[in-house]
Chains A and B, each alone.
Chain A
Amino acid sequence: MGYNWYFQIVWDYREVFFRGAEVTAELTIGALAISLSLGLALGLCRSSRVGFVRWPAALYVELFRSTPILVQLVWIYYALPILSGVQMGNVLSAAVGIGLHSAAYVAEIFRAGIKSIERGQMDAAKSIGMRYSAAMRRIILPQAVRRMIPPFINEFATLIKLTTLGSVLAVNELLHESENLINNTYRPLEVYTALAIVFAVIIFPFIYLSQRLERYWRVRG
């Protein structure tokens, strides 16, 4: 343990971290927008009574859950342009890739939330003459969303962590900026340690909040 820590270096190059954090935030917001909107749509489709609505959504979810996200990212960045002729930049590719991946998990959270509402609620809504869509909107979803919030927050924390994978597409997010910095300073221990702490500080509050909410709502029904 004779290593001489030199954390001053992190402070000296703080600009690099801020820059990286900005890109990480961009990636997070972009991926989150895709993940939530697509995930909600997929989750609703998976809860549908109609087979040809349900099956494609199920296929999507299983496909994205059973392949590594790294493979999905490089596929979108390198293979998709060849097939489609559309070349997205590396930041957009990473955001789309992470968003598409996370959407599969959001869809599952959404479906599980809807499924967790007792069947009697839909029965009661129908029995007073509500149509399926109205029953979903006014009776099922408002109850389900509450149960979905804690797992959603967890998924959000996961998504922030996944943005580090942008580094393989040379996106200048936190991890990639850190690696650049190490190449200049030869101080991997300080830089990686600082990076880990930065992520922990960002993510821990969300995980804590999720656990608190879960406990709070378990008690209050």
Chain B
Amino acid sequence: MNGGPAITVRGLHKYFGRLHVLRGIDLVVGRGEVLVLIGPSGSGKSTLLRCIDFLEEYDQGEIWLGRDLVGYRRNAAGRLVRDRDAAVSRVRARMGMVFQSFNLFPHKTVLENVIEGPVIVKGQKRDEAIPPAKALLDRVGLSDKLHAYPTQLSGGQQQRAAIARALAMQPEAMLFDEPTSSLDPELVGEVLEVMRGLAADGMTMIVATHEMGFAQEIADRVMMIDHGMIVESGRPEQIFGAPAQERTAEFLRRVRH
């Protein structure tokens, strides 16, 4: 691995039909950095994360994972064209994504969920994939749930399993899209605890969240997004303590009420 940034986004625009959802996003995430995205509902945080993982095609701009363009490649004439499915998947495999609604595979046990990527994508043997998967599940506190099905778990357990599933691919970066928003309040802590551990281990992370306390605690940098544009970004103590933009201050007043 080189010393360059982990993720680079340049001049990103995204439309849903005529709706202009991302209007020129530029950001650079360094290796090991934790970037937290905040902003009102509908501001484009999820869309930005989904574009980075190329779950949404973007209309303009560039997204780089390390030195590799995400989703597109340059053809002989130097124009950007949609990359082949195989190439897109290879880039995606290097990023982990955690969703608000967990999205575990309901027909597979927790352990099967976690080894699915290593076995199917990386081509490891089941026997090879199981020990590290168990270690990961141990790390997120699910050693006793290896053979449970997702429906048999609490929301917090499901989300921790989903994090383990993403980590099993040994990603260069993790993307979190409101990982605790659909959890009962008493289950939020256990998921945040796992994320804290990841950050401490130097994982590169982009986290969209409405948990302002957690954002302040875990972030190296906080970025305020509104109407598909970056309002401001800075150290958490600056954004939360002395926001430069009135829109940020107003948003924070509203969420803290």
Q: Do A and B bind each other?
A: yes
**With an 8 A cutoff between CB atoms, is A221 at the interface?**
yes
**With an 8 A cutoff between CB atoms, is A22 at the interface?**
no
**With an 8 A cutoff between CB atoms, is B103 at the interface?**
yes
Q: Say how far B155's CB is from chain A's closest CB, in angstroms.
A: 14
**Contact present for A120 and B85 (CB under 8 Å):** no
Instruction: Identify the interface centre among B53, B106, B162, B166: most chain A CB within 10 Å of its CB.
Output: B106
Instruction: Identify the interface centre among B50, B55, B101: most chain A CB within 10 Å of its CB.
Output: B55
Chain B positions within 8 Å of A125 at CB level: 105
Please, which residue of chain B has its CB at the minimum distance from the CB of A117? B106
**Contact present for A124 and B89 (CB under 8 Å):** no
**With an 8 A cutoff between CB atoms, is B77 at the interface?**
no
Cα separation A124 to B90 with both chains bound (whole Å): 14
**With an 8 A cutoff between CB atoms, is B120 at the interface?**
yes
**With an 8 A cutoff between CB atoms, is A127 at the interface?**
yes
DSSP class of B's interface residues: helix, strand, loop or mixed? mixed
Cα separation A123 to B91 with both chains bound (whole Å): 14
A120-B99, A120-B101, A123-B55 known; A128 vs B106 contact (CB < 8 Å) = no
**With an 8 A cutoff between CB atoms, is A126 at the interface?**
yes
Q: Say how far A134's CB is from chain B's closest CB, in angstroms.
A: 6
**Contact present for A127 and B105 (CB under 8 Å):** no
**With an 8 A cutoff between CB atoms, is B148 at the interface?**
no
A120-B99, A138-B116, A221-B151 known; A126 vs B105 contact (CB < 8 Å) = no
| Chain B interface extent, by class | 20 to 34
Chain B positions within 8 Å of A123 at CB level: 50, 55, 97, 99, 103
Contact pick for A134, options B55, B103, B120, CB 8 Å? B120
**With an 8 A cutoff between CB atoms, is B169 at the interface?**
yes
**With an 8 A cutoff between CB atoms, is A121 at the interface?**
yes
Q: How many residues of A contact B (CB 8 A)?
A: 20
**Contact present for B107 and A127 (CB under 8 Å):** no
Please, which residue of chain A has its CB at the minimum distance from the CB of B114? A128
Cα separation A209 to B107 with both chains bound (whole Å): 22
Contact pick for A143, options B53, B107, B151, CB 8 Å? B107
A 110-134 to B, binary, CB cutoff 8 A, 1 in contact else 0 = 0000000010110111111111101
**Contact present for B90 and A129 (CB under 8 Å):** yes
**With an 8 A cutoff between CB atoms, is B65 at the interface?**
no
Cα separation A13 to B246 with both chains bound (whole Å): 92
**Contact present for B121 and A124 (CB under 8 Å):** no
Cα separation A220 to B85 with both chains bound (whole Å): 35
Cα separation A126 to B52 with both chains bound (whole Å): 13
Chain B positions within 8 Å of A126 at CB level: 53, 55, 89, 92
**With an 8 A cutoff between CB atoms, is B95 at the interface?**
yes
Chain B positions within 8 Å of A143 at CB level: 106-107
**With an 8 A cutoff between CB atoms, is A139 at the interface?**
yes
Chain A positions within 8 Å of B165 at CB level: 124, 128
Q: Say how far B150's CB is from chain A's closest CB, in angstroms.
A: 10
Chain A positions within 8 Å of B96 at CB level: 127-128
B 223-253 to A, binary, CB cutoff 8 A, 1 in contact else 0 = 0000000000000000000000000000000
Cα separation A188 to B97 with both chains bound (whole Å): 69
**Contact present for B92 and A127 (CB under 8 Å):** yes
**With an 8 A cutoff between CB atoms, is B104 at the interface?**
yes
Cα separation A139 to B108 with both chains bound (whole Å): 9
**Contact present for A131 and B85 (CB under 8 Å):** yes
Near A by CB (< 8 A), chain B positions 68-88 give 85-86
Cα separation A146 to B106 with both chains bound (whole Å): 12
**With an 8 A cutoff between CB atoms, is A205 at the interface?**
no
**With an 8 A cutoff between CB atoms, is A56 at the interface?**
no
Chain B positions within 8 Å of A127 at CB level: 53, 55, 92, 95-97, 166
Please, which residue of chain B has its CB at the minimum distance from the CB of A124? B103
Q: Say how far B28's CB is from chain A's closest CB, in angstroms.
A: 22
12 contacts between A and B (CB under 8 A): A121-B105, A123-B55, A124-B103, A124-B165, A126-B55, A127-B53, A127-B55, A129-B117, A130-B121, A131-B89, A132-B85, A134-B121
Known A124-B97, A129-B94; 12 more pairs at CB < 8 Å: A120-B99, A125-B105, A126-B55, A128-B117, A130-B117, A130-B121, A131-B86, A134-B120, A138-B120, A139-B105, A143-B106, A143-B107
Task: Spell out B's residues near A (CB within 8 Å).
Answer: 50, 53, 55, 85-86, 89-90, 92-97, 99, 101, 103-107, 116-117, 120-122, 151, 162, 165-166, 168-169
Across chains A and B, which 6 residue pairs bring their CB atoms closest together, nearest first?
A: A129-B93, A128-B117, A124-B103, A127-B97, A120-B103, A129-B121
